[in-house]
Amino acid sequence: MSVCVAILRAKPEHAGEVEATLRDIAAVTRDEEGAVAFVLHRQGPDTFIIYEKYVDDAAREAHFAMPYVSGFVARFGELLVAEPQIEFAEELAGFTR
């Protein structure tokens, strides 16, 4: 499994828009081929942590190429205080209930 963890710090005046956009992306990601999980978390008023899991790297890359993701990424300079922290990993072990 291919995993992505991202931390986005929104500009305070855009935190509501960032949350709404991430909720929309979560909803449509559910229907993507190869998407296993997209879990959105909020930390404090302006920080969002996203955990994503895909069957493989190709599915993850296909997700990032979707217009609703690439369009959001193109607006990071406007919406975020800094570049997001994004980490990619391969899942080795775990469970989901």
Mean pLDDT (the chain) is 96
Measured CA distances, 66 to 1, 13, 31, 59, 70 (Å): 20, 26, 12, 11, 6
pLDDT band at 94 (very low <50, low <70, confident <90, very high): confident
pTM recorded for the entire structure: 0.93
Confidence tier at 96 by pLDDT (50, 70, 90): confident
Q: Would you say 32 and 66 are in contact if contact means Cβ atoms under 8 Å apart? A: yes
For residues 45 and 29, give the distance between their C-alpha atoms in angstroms, rounded to a whole number: 24
Task: Tell me how far apart the alpha carbons of residues 75 and 35 are, in angstroms, rounded to a whole number.
Answer: 23
What is d(CA 56, CA 82) in angstroms, rounded to the nearest whole number?
28
Structural domains of the chain ordered from first start: 2-46+58-90 (3.30.70.100)
pLDDT in tens, 2-42: 999 999 999 999 999 999 999 999 999 999 999 999 999 99
Dump pLDDT digits (tens) for 32-89. 999 999 999 999 999 999 999 999 999 999 999 999 999 999 999 999 999 999 999 9
